[in-house]
Amino acid sequence: MPRRLIQLFTGLVLYGISDSMLLLAGLGVDPWDVLHQGLARRTGVPVGTWSIIVGAVVLLLWIPPRPRPGLGTLCNVAVVGAVIDLTLAVVSPPHSLPVQAAVMVSGVVLNGGTVGVGTVVYAVCIGPLAHIFVPLFSRPKPDKAAQTATSTSS
C-alpha cells in the first residue's frame, strides 16, 4: 500500500508540474486548462485553484450515478491544482520563444500517455474545429452606442 501511495503522489505531482510547464510556456494548454485559465483571468483566482474547484464540481455531479470516488480520485483533484498554483508562484515564465517551446515540449513529454494517431488527429483538428465552433456559440458583445441609448431612454 505505501508503494502505491508514493506512486500515486509522485504521478500527481509530476502531472501538476507538466500542466504548469504548459501554462508557463504561454503557447497553449490542454482543453481543461483553457477553461481554468479563462476563469482565472476573469476572476483573479489562480489557475490551480480553479482546477480544484472545477474538479470538485465534476466529482459532485459524478456521485449520484456512480459509486463514491476513491482516495486517488480525490487526491487527483486536490494535489494537481495545488502543485499548479505552487509551481506558478515560484517559477517565472520564460520570455524567449525557443525557451517557451522547450518548456512546452517538456511539459507534454512529462505528461506522458500514449502518443498515436488519435494524438495527431486531435492536434491537427482542434484548431480548425475551434475556428468553426467558437464563433457559432459566441454571443455578440452589445454595441456600446445601442447600450447607451437604451439606458438613457429608460
Interatomic CA distance for residues 39 and 52, integer angstroms: 12
Interatomic CA distance for residues 48 and 44, integer angstroms: 12
How much is the pLDDT for 109? Answer: 83
How much is the pLDDT for 123? Answer: 78
pLDDT band at 60 (very low <50, low <70, confident <90, very high): confident
The pTM of the full predicted model, rounded to 2 decimals, is: 0.72
Q: Can you tell me the mean pLDDT for 13-42?
A: 92
DSSP code for 94: P
Cell readout for 94 is: 520564460
How much is the pLDDT for 63? Answer: 73
How much is the pLDDT for 41? Answer: 94
For the cut 90, the answer to whether the pLDDT of residue 10 exceeds it is yes
How much is the pLDDT for 152? Answer: 57
Q: Can you tell me the mean pLDDT for 33-41?
A: 92
Pick from 30, 16, 34: which is nearest to 81 by CA?
16
Average pLDDT, the chain: 86
Spell out the domain ranges in the chain: 2-112
DSSP annotation string for 7-57: HHHHHHHHHHHHHHHHHHHTS---HHHHHHHHHHHHH---HHHHHHHHHHH
The residue assigned the cell 524567449 is 96
How much is the pLDDT for 14? Answer: 94
Q: Which secondary structure element, helix H or strand E, spans residue 115, and what is its range?
A: none
How much is the pLDDT for 62? Answer: 77
